Every structure is written in C-alpha cells, then in structure tokens.
Amino acid sequence: MTTAEIKAWATEYIMNTYGDRQLALVKGEGAYVWSADGKKYLDFLSGIAVNGLGHCHPKVVSAIQNQAEKLLHVSNLYYIEPQAQLAKLLVENGDLDQCFFCNSGAEANEAAIKIARKFVKDSGRPKANEIITMNQSFHGRTMATISATAQPKYHKGFEPMLPGFVYVPYDDLDAVESAINENTCAILVEPIQSEGGVNVPSSGYLSGLRDLCDRNELVLIFDEVQTSPARLGTFFGYQSWGITPDVITMAKSLGGGAPIGAMMATRSVAESFVPGTHAATFGGNPLVTAAATATLETILEEDICQNATEMGDYMVNKFSTLKGRHPLTDIRGRGLLRGLVFSVDAKPLAAKCADNGLITICTNDHVLRFLPPLNIGKQQIDEAYQLLEQSLADVGL
C-alpha cells in the first residue's frame, strides 16, 4: 500500500487519538526506517525510546522466531520459562528483588501504585494512600496514571481524577517535604522527566527523596519506563545516581520492540502482592519475555551501557557546536536521552527534520528530543547533525 492508501484507511477506521501523521513506516533495520513510499529515514526517536537495539535487531528477531515456533502464549496460571529467565536477569543486574510483568508503561505504573498502597496498609498504616507526584510528570494514560500525571492537559474531559495524588513542583525537595502528612504512602518520580521536556533534577534531589522516604516510611517509586534499561548509561537508570528506590517501573526498550512492561520491588514490598492481588493475562507472556531476555542479554554482551554514555557525550559535543549560530540555548539529559532546547517554537523544525530524513520529536514546544537506538554509532550521529543543520537552514533558524 502507498502512504496515501494507508492514511485513507487509518483515517476512516481508526479513532483519531494521534492526529494527522506525516509518515507511514513499513520497514526498519538498525537505526533506519523506510516509509511506504520507499524513502529512508534516520530514526532518532526509536518509537519513543522503544527500539533500544535499533529496528529488528537480529538477536531479538531470532528469539521471537524461535519462541513463536515453540509456544506463543500460556496463562500465568503456569510457570513460563522465558519469564523466569527474564526476571533472573533483571534481578541479578540491579538491587531489587522481584518482578511483576505486564504489557506497557502505564500498566507498570498501575502495578506500582497498587503495591505501594498495599504495602503501606500491610505495614500498619491503613489510611495512608496518598502518592506525591511531580508537575510536568508523565506516567501513562489509564485513569490512575493520568491522575498521577501532574499535567492538566491530560486530565481535561476525563474528570474526576482518581483521589489520592498530590502534586508538587519537580526538583523541589522542600515542596515534597511540606506535602508529606500522615496520609502519604509513596513518592512517584521520573529520575529524568522525558515527556515533560527532558528535565534533569539537581544533584541531591533524588537522594533527598530517598532520605525523605526513609524518614517517613514512604515507598520511593521511580518511573523508569523511558530511562531503563541502559538509556542513561547504566543498566537501570537509578544506578547512575547511586541510590536504590523501593519500586521501579519499566517498559519501552525492555522488549527491544516487543510490548512488555515490568514493575520491580524490594522483597519486603514485593511480599504485599500475594495471590489474587494483581494479574495481567498477557503479562510476561512467552513471546515478549523471550524478546526481552534477548534484548537484555545483548545489552550486557555488547556493553551497550558504555556505548550510551560515550555516544551521549559525543552527541552533546557535536550538537553544542550549533549554539551561537542557531537559537539553541541548552542540551539537557543524560546518556542517550537528550533534549535540544530552543528559544523558539521547535515544532516546525521537527517536521522539517522528518522531511529531510531525520525522525525526532518536539516536546513542550521548545525541546527537540533525541532518543536514538542505544547501539548508535558516531557515523549516524554525524549524519543526524548534518540533517539537523540542513533543517535549521530550511526553516530559517
């Protein structure tokens, strides 16, 4: 089908939650994708941080093929071999003790919200159910996760929000401390806010949250849906700050392109999820956990964390040379989660980049967000730089 034909059917038959889209993408290999019309694009968005090993990584594809021939799905009423293997890998490479598998970031956050409330009740504080979250956060699109997301634009039309969420400014420890009361059970935070504009907290903020949780017996939840695995240059994002939350959530690049989410917790918190308390039919099914296991094995074998650090630094150095000549004021982020901050609206620039063959996204009007595959190389970063420079010229910036 041509792009126009796909667009016509999609417009007719699919609800319009994503608006008008520039491209129909039909094929991918490594850092590149091809449109239905045969044009090649350098993908610096990676399906919004999903294709961590690039498109159709051979080890992920072969794991999916092998598993598809063996067993596609069985219920979680039975033990599942690749699910057990994936959980072992996740636990052995971090500081948390047990996993719950689901299908998306929002579902992982739902699981985190539920386990935090249950744990605090089990610990003898039955009335404590409030969760403190941060302005500009993004935690998903289910009712509980939009309620946790402190951005009114995601609430509009869906009110009332679920009770039990208290919003405070990001990167403000005093605000968190003032919001804590006898009803508080947890703090939920993205270690770097990606959708909110690639906002990096001051040093001491995340460890300060850890300290507040310890002093007030609160559950510290890191939403690492976008930052783990490997995107920040460490296997789990929290490891780059040297602190351990009680609960983390993941999704996005965990499956190397396959849809999977995970919530991990310390053993004491995990014990609150007893039989019957939570479940997901497809959660951790054989196909996606085989894909995720292959993804994580590849990340470890090919030292992808180191690559994310080195290429992140290379990208910042390279793109910083645009400052002064263009309205680029700052480059924020860590590893391969980067935001180029412009003093002007960057939406036309993002659209021009796509016209010129570079896929990226504009966040919060002024920030061009780069989430390239974690195994990206210098050559592709140089290519992205050239395409961006060309696009800046084309839009007159």
Which residues make up the interface to ligand PLP (CB under 6 A)?
Answer: 48, 104-106, 109, 138-140, 190, 194-195, 223, 225-226, 251
How many CB atoms lie under 10 A from the CB of residue 318? 17
What is the spatial distance between Cα 158 and Cα 4, in angstroms, rounded to a whole number? Answer: 33
The verdict on whether 97 is a catalytic residue reads no
The verdict on whether 382 is a catalytic residue reads no
Taking CA atoms, 13 is separated from 1, 10, 21, 26, 36, in Å, by 16, 5, 15, 19, 19
The full DSSP string for 313-361 is HHHHHHHHTTBTTBSEEEEEEETTEEEEEESS--HHHHHHHHHHTEE-E
Closest CB to ligand PLP among 171 and 223?
223
Q: How far is the CB of 193 from ligand PLP (least distance, A)?
A: 8
Q: How far is the CB of 215 from ligand PLP (least distance, A)?
A: 26
What is the spatial distance between Cα 76 and Cα 139, in angstroms, rounded to a whole number? Answer: 26
Residues 6+ apart with CB under 8 A from 379: none
**Cβ distance 175 to 208 under 8 Å?**
no
Closest CB to ligand PLP among 3 and 229?
229
Q: Phi and psi of 46, rounded to 5°?
A: 55, 40
What is the spatial distance between Cα 270 and Cα 260, in angstroms, rounded to a whole number? Answer: 19
Name the 3-class secondary structure at 34: strand
Alpha helical stretches, state H, the chain:
3-13, 46-49, 58-70, 81-92, 105-122, 143-148, 152-155, 173-179, 205-216, 267-270, 286-301, 304-320, 347-356, 378-394
Instruction: Single out the catalytic residue among 43, 171, 222, 223.
Output: 223
Closest CB to ligand PLP among 119 and 138?
138
Q: How far is the CB of 145 from ligand PLP (least distance, A)?
A: 7
Instruction: Single out the catalytic residue among 100, 101, 138, 235.
Output: 138
Closest CB to ligand PLP among 288 and 322?
288
Q: What angle do CA 88, 89, 91 make, to 5 degrees?
A: 65
How many CB atoms lie under 10 A from the CB of residue 85? 16
Q: How far is the CB of 277 from ligand PLP (least distance, A)?
A: 21
The verdict on whether 313 is a catalytic residue reads no
Closest CB to ligand PLP among 195 and 246?
195
Instruction: Single out the catalytic residue among 171, 222, 246, 252.
Output: 252
What is the spatial distance between Cα 311 and Cα 375, in angstroms, rounded to a whole number? Answer: 9
**Cβ distance 304 to 374 under 8 Å?**
yes
Closest CB to ligand PLP among 105 and 164?
105
Catalytic residues: 138, 223, 252
